[in-house]
A and B are shown apart, each in its own frame.
Chain A
Amino acid sequence: MSSALDRFIAAGPWPERTGMRLLVALARRPRGARLLRALAPVDQLAGGLLAMEHYEDPAVARGLGWDADAVAARGRALRREEGRP
């Protein structure tokens, strides 16, 4: 599990975080993923979490036209330039 997704799940309320950890662990294993497919809403949630992690990877996101580092850097530069908090 990536540290960002790990921190995200850890930030969640109990008992959701326990359920989410279980869900992600299942979704990462082929047998677990097959099991989840039978439960459409849960499968969508698990798939969504893994997809979120995948597309937050800067290299993957850049390939889709989104460069978070550039957006954050531009923001920082503008704040400094204009004396914003």
Chain B
Amino acid sequence: MTATDRIDADVCIVGAGAGGAVAAAELAEGGAKVVVLEQGPHHDADRFSAQPIEMMSALYRDGGQGVTLGTPPILLPLGRGIGGTTLVNSGTCFRTPPAVLERWQREYGLRELTVQALDPCFQRVERALSVAEVTPELAGANAAVARRGAEALGWSHGYLRRNARGCVGSGVCAFGCPTSAKQHTGITYVPRAQAAGAKILTGAEVHRVLVRGGRARGVQASLDGSVRLDVHAPEVIVAAGTIHTPLLLERSGLAGASGQLGQNLALHPATGAFARMEEIVDMARGVPQSFYIDEFSAQGIMFEGVAGPPSYVAMSLPLTGARHAEAMADYRRLAQFGLMVSDSSRGSVRAFGGRPLIRYDLVEADLARFRTGLARMRELFEAAGAREVYLPLPHGVAPERARPRDLKLMAFHPLGTARADVRPTHGVVDGQLRLHGVEGVHVADGSVVPSSLGVNPQITIMALATRLSYHLLERSCPS
């Protein structure tokens, strides 16, 4: 370190993703002096090449290659930089399902988190992100295949609501939207925060949250590895994401009393199946995640669209050798759909050599969901007229006989490692997302979400961050 900088602020926010960016804008616009420390860079859309390999290296933490330890290992890609994972997600927007909120009230004592109480926060987020339903034309032929299958089987389905404006269906939401149509927090909330006077610093490594006398004092960080930065602030919002927030709190010596920090990790494990159709699908033309089938959502099984360019398919296709090459030669006729499980399995995250070590094993109930889901996925594609269906299982293994190690899983929605619970013995933060036992330290990211949602979590996180911001401003969220 060659120098030390000091910044004084009302609120210091760690992370500029779904939670941090929203809190930054709402608080700055509410008159607070805000500093945001983001570990990653600002990504310039001019450099978005629509090339999956190149973009994964640039936009994802660890090149999108983070993996859980356990059976089976699960690939856990996370975004890094301004916008966080909202920069590279599919843009799907579901409000927190009412049944999930009821569960939170019942099991975690979060009685204030009702549908009615959150409604103005959701409205505010949806307006800021231009959330709207995808049109069938923009959804493309990949969605049309799934819709045809769902209609033939009489399964409940619909077009997804997304945070996009002026989308032309570039087909690469997960690899940096080249038109900036996806309204991620880096181009919505972050500019609003800056316009309201917030200071946004990238390349900021936050070492610890400073607490004295049971009260937040700020954070200690470094900028680009060379300048030591002390931010003095009476309010700190940790929004480093479900995997990194518990690590920061742990190295700050905070939140350890309940024994829940880093525990209760839910992931929404997911997989995808392919089908070879008669018609040209050109799956990367259109919105990759534009359509859903929720017929089995009560069982914890959700189907959502997924698609991408040839190099992405080449990596995901569950075939090898000549069969892989043959299927790829017919790429234009390939369709894909995803299966996501609202998991009962729970994992944990802890620091190992300064990096997160994520442990997660699939329990029997989730294995059963995957078995059922994969069998249904085959039905779906067959009902849509598929010539061949490629399930993500080893050759010759039927869905009903799949073992955990047979599954090829990914996950995009880590949740719960600093869960909210009104009881200090059971949770890390209270219903206002304030760290139990400490004044002025709050958490606003997926880590506070106390259970699986069964749906994509981005606007749940944003609505909770909105609610936290208005609580700190001592105002009610305008509807």
**Which residues of A approach B to under 8 Å, CB–CB?**
4-5, 7-13, 16-17, 20, 40-41, 43-44, 47-49, 51-56, 60-61, 64-66, 68-69, 71-72, 74-76, 78-79, 82, 84-85
Contacts of A82 in B (CB 8 A): 166
Query: B50–A72 contact, CB under 8 A?
Result: yes
Contact with A along B49-74 (1 / 0, CB 8 A): 11111101100101111110000000
**Which residues of B approach A to under 8 Å, CB–CB?**
45-46, 48-54, 56-57, 60, 62-67, 166, 168, 170-172, 177-181, 187, 191, 282, 284, 309-318, 320-321, 324, 328, 331-332, 355, 394
Query: B51–A49 contact, CB under 8 A?
Result: no
Q: Which 3 A-B pairs have the closest CB atoms?
A: A75-B178, A11-B63, A51-B314
| A75-B57 contact in complex given A12-B65, A64-B332, C-beta closer than 8 Å | no
Query: B331–A64 contact, CB under 8 A?
Result: yes
Query: B62–A65 contact, CB under 8 A?
Result: no
Chain A nearest CB from B169 CB (Å) reads 10
A12, A55, A68, A84: the one within 8 Å of B49 (CB): A68
Contacts of A7 in B (CB 8 A): 53-54, 57
| A79-B179 contact in complex given A16-B65, A47-B320, C-beta closer than 8 Å | yes
| A78-B166 contact in complex given A13-B62, A51-B328, A52-B315, C-beta closer than 8 Å | yes
Query: A61–B166 contact, CB under 8 A?
Result: no
Contacts of B50 in A (CB 8 A): 68-69, 71-72, 75
Query: B53–A53 contact, CB under 8 A?
Result: yes
B54, B62, B66, B332: the one within 8 Å of A4 (CB): B54
Contacts of A66 in B (CB 8 A): 284, 309-310, 331
| A43-B62 contact in complex given A8-B56, A52-B315, A74-B170, C-beta closer than 8 Å | no
Q: How far is the CA of A49 from the CA of B56 in the complex (A)?
A: 13
